[in-house]
Structure 1
Amino acid sequence: MPTHLTRGQTRRMTVGQALLEFLAHQWTVDGDERERTVPGVLGIFGHGNVAGFGQAVKELHEREPGLMPYHQARNEQAMVHQAVGYARMRRRRATLASTASVGPGSSNMLTGAALATANRLPALLLPSDTFATRVADPVLQQLELPHDTGVQVTDAFRPLSRYFDRVQRPEQLFSIALAAMRVLTDPAETGAVTIALPEDVQAEAVDVPVEFLADREWHVSRPLPQPHALARAVAALRDARSPLVVAGGGVLYSGAEDELRAFAEATGIPVATTQAGGGSLPWDHPQYLGGVGATGSTAANRVARGADVVIGIGTRYSDFTTASRSAFQHPDVAFVNINVASFDAYKHGTQLAVVADARETLVALADALAGYRVPAEHAEVVATERAAWNDVVDAALAPTAAELTGQPELIGAVHAATEPRDVVVQAAGSLPGDLHKLWRVRDPLGYHVEYAFSCMGYEIAGGLGARRALDAAGDDRDVVVLVGDGSYLMLHTELVTAVAEGLKIVVVIVQNHGYASIGNLSESVGSERFGTRYRRYDDARGDFEGDERLPVDLAANARSYGLDVIEVEPGPEVTARITAAVKAAKASDRTTVVHVTTDPLVPAPDGEGWWDVPVAQVSALPSTRRAAERHAAERKSQRPLLS
């Protein structure tokens, strides 16, 4: 903005132009870090946004190239996934905006909105809406409900968003945009932020105050722990005989990994991680026990079972983290929950909530606990369990010389090809659980597994978002996307985006001819993998349970997009071939796909975690009756209220 413009001056602009220029001048400040809050916009233009927001993007590009870069996507859901991947890699300080057309274009973003909110990661959604004036009613792609004609597709974003509003008059833009930015940059409130934009309002002119368009800073709140809350937590820890830290994503979003390491080393308190918290400590740290819960390690789960004080830092305590509330079995277990969001801090009925920033609280705890050290017997248990689990992982990752690699061996082969700072991206299927157990994270940003929503199809788009964030920071580490064939088929078209923009990621397609994760789950609940195999429909049987595999060639599909593809042939040397293929892909300056066929029946080692999935209580199938008996027995360890 020209510096001579003063308060009281206005510019005549459309709502779309004003909103875009406003976004281009928003800055997030987090301590010494200052960066653009929304440094780019992803969009697919159509009926509803091409004449409003789309025109604004074009005009600003002509007037100030590079101020608000536009990125073309192939799927609206994938746009939001890219924004989330970007935000995760920027520790929630920045994200991307996503604009879509009326009706199906906007509704395609609903899954992305739910994913962003579930993961507590910021994403700005700008779905288009039908005419606010209703001058042409109904319009193409309008939703008509006779009982409430005011309801439109964009109303579906309300329960999925941390903030929602609709700009029904141009003058509303100013307060709505400011409120949206407040939520987008608030660690305790962030998630999907949705501003619905009626197609006529986007193109309407309004006098815009110049101060609305000026640079504006949003300072990230890092609240200090309240003295009384801290004192209660310290008292509980002083008396603890077998404490355990459960580190969630909040550790990384706060930038608290160094403080966590110092705290663990000073006190000897061991650390287990959630999926979002992977990277909070490097895998080879003496206090690190691995993942905890349903997909955790035996080391973490055995220590969790006997923990008398659990220090949850930045975790939302999902059922996978708590093993469906069966992980913590000490009769007097207490929870010290440290979280910027009181909603999460007070979970499990705790009376030891610390509503504060993770980094600030860890510093305060370390000072207050000076001289405290876990008992020698607890330290011995930690060391013994940790060593035993590392031996298990060594064996699981080792080459077997089998014709087809199992997934654990595949993970070992990919890990062997990566550098310590490389980023692995995953989201759905059996891979998240196996990675939680087996991927040895060496960098705070090296583990990017979207597991709050565990959305099939996230991987490639999320990987591109991570790549964009790293490129913006001048960081040349590699992004390695692991994607199962089921998830690949859900949303692979963003590979075209990688080609169009020259974005370089490594994509490893794990071909196992079906939904491996759900196949395992189906078997465990007595449904015998029904409907989980990719097979040709059997007319005689009336199902897909025959032996004839589909002649689908995913490698050829990827190659058709203009990508380099390396097909790894089965055989006794398959593990070495996978490692060589990933290394070759890393050495390239183009996105490369590595295609590997695996054996879906080779399991990861048992981590002694449990996940509560209801089983049919009445069944003619013997397999289901046996599963119901197991489920009833397993539920006996479940605790409805932990503290």
Structure 2
Amino acid sequence: MEKAKTVRLTTAQALVKFLNQQYIDVDGEITPFVEGIFGIFGHGNVLGLGEALYNEPGHLKVYQGHNEQGMTSAAVAYARENLRRKIFAVTASAGPGSANFVTAAGNAYVNNIPVLILPADTFASRQPDPVLQQIEVENSAATTTNDTLKPVSKYWDRIQRPEQLMSALLKAFEVLTNPATTGPVTICLPQDAEGEAYDYPVSFFQKRVYVVKRQQPSQFEVETAVKLIKQSQKPVLLVGGGAKFSDAGTAIEAFSQKFKIPIVETATGKSTVIYDFANNMGGVGILGTSAANKVLAEADLLIGAGSRYTDFTTSSKTGINPEQTKVININLSRMQAIKFDAFPIVADIRDTLQVLTKSAELEQYQSTFTNLQTYKEEWNQERERLAHTNYDDPDFVPEISGHYTKEKLADYAQTLGTHLTQTSALIAMNEHIDPEAIMVAAAGSLPGDVHRIWNPKAKDTYHMEYGYSMMGYEIAASLGVKLAKPNVESYALVGDGSFLMQHSELVTSLQYHKKINVVVFDNSGFHSINNLQMSHGDESFMTEFTTSDQKILNIDYAKVAAGYGAKSYHVNSVEQLLAALDDAKKQDCSTLIDVKVLPKTMTHDYGNAWWRVGDPEVSQNQKVQKSFTDTQEHLKKAFKY
């Protein structure tokens, strides 16, 4: 019997060789699954994985990151923009570098985004212990910093012997390429095992193609869904992130159009269908449009397409009445499909909607909605009003009113040198940039504003991270978007608070000539949280950017970016913003537009939207006492699921 052929490689070399041979088949199109690796190299990975990538990277593109959280966010955005059909791996040295993965891994976990995390680890032999940057846990010598990644990994493993790599990688890629289980995968690489050699079977490095099969709905699932739709008068289709990953936009339009069913959107589902589609009522829930919240209030059937039903979507379980509204959930995840006591369809969203659209039983069906266009036109008129809010008008009242005196707002206007409102700036930008340009946002007041007033003109041009609401995602994600779609402009919409938390990958974009556009909306504070605390009776506390003597900070973010080598602009009017956008489009390098906007000029709630937060039951402040009482009244209206 002929002896199996082997090749002697280190663990790190075998890892790189394996990554080069992983392919994915989606609807018959076969493409490489791993595009490359972001790395920050230190003593734990530079001699092992670094050596392997330097000598034989294969087709893998290697980029130097500048913060582990930032480069992982770029990898997450890259995979999301590719509808989870391509990924980047990330690597860092042992200790604090690997610990920095945790926040971005949590983001990937919540949003079901594949990313391969390769943190260096302490020695498998434990002989040099404790090594540089090693933590020591009294109850287990096996515990290292990388154990913090277990709760935020869909699969986690540690390679203590070179031959363990084979089973670990096979399990890892089954998770990464399976739409029902995908998310962050962590493979820890102890630095001694990383450099140890083994005679690997040549067969381990043959081309592997992972076929993504679209799971079909069963006959029972289809028949029951048809029955529920026929029994309904006013069904509504909720478009979640799963619909986007299923590439279900065309199927959603056909389903909605045939049956006259309005669609409403979650933060991740937005731009699966463009806003100009007649039955698209826009974002729903706490941050929703008046049109979307009105149709949801009337619904007797909600068809959820790939939604997690977060509190922002459901208005903390006050937006969906189980006595009025039945629920169907189409989702690849059984856990998500049963939410809200729904009838679950565990299947692909695109194909399920296509089957329902072609159903002979529904051939004559249409909803009884008669006012969809009225609702939408009312919202369009409100958006037009928001586009022209003007501080200089005598009757100007901030959208988030009642919390700031006119004198305080005037102080901000003078300090920041602006009378520009946030809503007017956002809408002007939305109407001005190329329809194919991709907008990225994540946290603060901007997600609420864009969920309501940013109207995508082309599909898949709205990139929102709101599953984890991760501050600091935006700029790194814009780089990931640019890597995924190099021929379109990528715009990171970021508040000044998020910018200060994380903007390291702006440098990466400049280093590798991957142009991104950063638009900083500076109102000198965490004003979305300031709105929250003041609207619940508290005074402003630790949410404004002020000095110890209560003077408002006025930071020159344009100068910060210019110091890195970016082209930068100062903006305090709509006219200056449009001029900056025009000039930024002409640039070859990354740009930053420092937009000074007034606080309290973001959008407000529409409809019966309500967000449950933890009001204190005991307080000396009468305003806080009233807020607690109001919350208890809302809880009486909240539905229990």
**What is the 5 A alignment of 1:390-429?**
390-398=380-388, 400=390, 402=392, 403-429=418-444
The corresponding residue for 2:498 is 487
1:401 Cα deviation from its structure 2 partner: 6.7
Question: Distance in 2 between the 1:621 and 1:74 partners?
Answer: 45
Partner in structure 1 of residue 456 of structure 2: 441
Following the alignment from structure 1 to structure 2, what is the Cα–Cα distance between the partners of residues 204 and 288? 57
Match of 2:564 among 561, 572, 583: 561
Give, as a single letter, the amino acid of the residue that structure 2 aligns with 1:396.
L
1:399 CA displacement: 5.9
Q: For 2:528 and 2:30, how far apart are their aligned partners in 1?
A: 41
- Superposed displacement of residue 330, structure 1: 5.9
Q: Is the 8 A contact 2:445 2:602 kept in 1?
A: no
Matched, 1:30 2:26: yes
Gaps of 5+ in 2: 393-417
For residues 523-556 of structure 1, give each alpha carbon's deviation from its aligned partner in whole angstroms, at most 9, with x where no partner exists: 1222222110001124xxxxxxx2x123532211
The residue aligned with 1:347 is: 339
Partner SS for 2:344: strand
Q: Percent identity?
A: 38
Q: Secondary structure at the match of 1:618?
A: coil
Query: What pairs up with 1:184-195 in 2 under 5 angstroms?
Result: 184-195=176-187
Distance across 2 between alignment mates of 1:95 and 1:292: 30
* Structure-2 residue corresponding to 1:3: none
* Counterpart-to-counterpart distance in 2, 1:557 and 1:256: 41
- Kindly state the Cα deviation for residue 595 of structure 1 after the two structures are TM-superposed: 0.7
Q: Which residue in the other structure is 1:527 paired with?
A: 538
User: Which residue in the other structure is 2:40 paired with?
Assistant: 44
Preserved contact between residue 537 and residue 623 of structure 2 (Cα < 8 Å): yes
The C-alpha deviation readout for 1:544-603, integer Å capped at 9, x for no partner, is: xx2x123532211111001100111x3xxx112212211221222221111110011113
- d(CA) in 1 for partners of 2:612, 2:73: 28
TM-score by length of 1: 0.93
Partner SS, residue 262 of structure 1? helix
User: 1:375/1:176 Cα in 2 relative to 1: closer, same or farther (>3 Å)?
Assistant: closer
1:458 aligns with 2:473: yes
Aligned partners of 1:167 and 1:197 also within 8 Å: yes
1:386 to 2:385 alignment: no
- Equivalent position of 1:515 in the other structure: 526
Residue 637 (structure 1) aligns with: 637
Aligned to 2:412: none
C-alpha displacement at 1:219, in angstroms?
1.1
Q: Quote how far apart the aligned CAs of 1:400 are.
A: 3.0
Partner Cα separation in structure 2 for residue 77 and residue 361 of structure 1: 37
Please tell me the residue identity of whatever aligns with 1:478: E
Q: Which residue does 2:249 correspond to in 1?
A: 257
Counterpart selection for 2:347 from 350, 353, 356: 356
1:550 corresponds to 2:533: no
Letter in 2 for 1:358: I
What corresponds to 1:288 in structure 2?
280
Counterpart-to-counterpart distance in 2, 1:591 and 1:399:
30
The CA deviation string for residues 596-623 of structure 1, in whole angstroms up to 9 with x for no partner, is: 1001111314322211112011111122
CA contact (8 A) 2:290 2:379 kept: yes
Mark the CA change 1:375 to 1:263 in structure 2 (over 3 Å): closer, same or farther: closer
Counterpart residue type for residue 386 of structure 2: A
Q: What amino acid sits opposite 2:547 in the alignment?
A: R
Aligned partners of 1:79, 1:527: CA distance in 2, in Å? Answer: 37
Q: Greater shift after overlay, 505-514 or 606-615?
A: 606-615
One-letter code aligned to 1:359: R
Q: 1:123 touches 1:192 (CA, 8 Å); kept in 2?
A: yes
Taking the TM superposition and a 5 Å limit, the aligned residue runs for 1:567-606 are: 567-568=570-571, 570=572, 574-606=573-605
CA–CA distance in structure 1, aligned partners of residues 606 and 391 of structure 2: 24
| Structure 1 residue 221: Cα displacement | 2.6
The 2-side partners of 1:626 and 1:437 are apart by: 29
Residue type of the partner of 1:549? I
Counterpart secondary structure, 2:386: helix
- 583 and 33 in structure 1: CA distance in 2 versus 1, 3 angstrom threshold: farther
Deviation at 1:335, TM superposition (A): 0.8
Letter in 2 for 1:129: D
SS at match of 1:139: coil
CA distance in 1: counterparts of 2:264 and 2:317, whole angstroms: 16
Alignment pair present for 1:230 and 2:233: no
Output the amino acid matched with 1:141.
Q
Give the Cα–Cα distance (whole angstroms) in 2 for the partners of residues 373 and 596 of structure 1: 49
**Counterpart in 2 of 1:100?**
92
Question: Is 1:132 matched with 2:124?
Answer: yes
Structure 1 gaps of 5+ residues are 1-5, 539-545
Specify the code of the residue in structure 2 equivalent to 1:612.
R
Q: Report the residue type matching 2:226 in the other structure.
A: V
CA distance in 2, matches of 1:302, 1:521: 24
**1:315 partner SS:** coil
Does the residue aligned with 1:486 lie in a helix, a strand or coil? helix
Amino acid at match of 2:137: L
Report the CA distance shift for 1:372/1:638 in structure 2 as closer, same or farther (over 3 A).
farther
Partner of 1:21: helix, strand, or coil?
A: helix
Counterpart in 1 of 2:606?
607
Q: Deviations over 1:487-541 (max 9, x none)?
A: 0000112111011000111111111100011111111222222110001124xxx
Question: 1:210: Cα distance to partner?
Answer: 1.3
> Are 1:308 and 1:330, in contact at CA under 8 Å, matched by a contact in 2?
no
User: Is contact 1:79–1:98 with CA below 8 Å preserved after alignment?
Assistant: yes
Q: Which residue matches 1:627?
A: 627
Give the corresponding residue for 1:19.
15
Q: What's 2:401 paired with?
A: none
Q: Is the 8 A contact 1:392 1:605 kept in 2?
A: no
User: Could you tell me how far 1:51 is from its partner in structure 2?
Assistant: 1.1
- 1:282 Cα offset (Å): 1.1
Asked whether the equivalents of residues 238 and 264 of structure 2 are also in contact (C-alpha less than 8 Å), the reply is yes
**Cα pair 1:417 1:580 within 8 Å, conserved:** no
Distance 1:562 1:524, change over 3 A: same
Mapped contact 2:7–2:200 kept (Cα < 8 A): yes
After superposition, what is the alpha-carbon deviation per residue over 1:208-247, rounded to whole angstroms, capped at 9, x for unaligned?
1112112111111310001101111110001111110000
Q: Alignment partner for residue 213 of structure 1, among 205, 221, 238?
A: 205
- From 146, 150, 174, the equivalent of 2:142 is 150
Tell me the CA shift for residue 265 of structure 1. 0.6
1:267 deviation in Å?
0.6
The structure-2 alpha-carbon separation of the partners of 1:375 and 1:91, relative to structure 1 and needing over 3 Å to count, comes to closer
Take 1:86 and 1:228, find their aligned partners in 2: how far apart are those partners? 37
Q: Report the alpha carbon displacement of residue 32 of structure 1 after superposing the two structures with TM.
A: 3.1
Contact 1:305–1:330 (8 Å) recurs in 2: no
1:488-507 correspondence to structure 2 within 5 Å: 488-507=499-518
Check the 8 A contact 2:299/2:324 in 1, yes or no.
no
Alpha carbons of 1:70 and 1:306: their partners in 2 closer, same or farther (altered >3 Å)? same
Q: Sort the Cα spacing of 1:605 and 1:517 in 2 relative to 1 into closer, same or farther, 3 A.
A: closer
SS in structure 1 opposite 2:312? coil
The separation in 2 between residues aligned to 1:410 and 1:626, in whole angstroms, is 35
Amino acid at match of 1:459: E
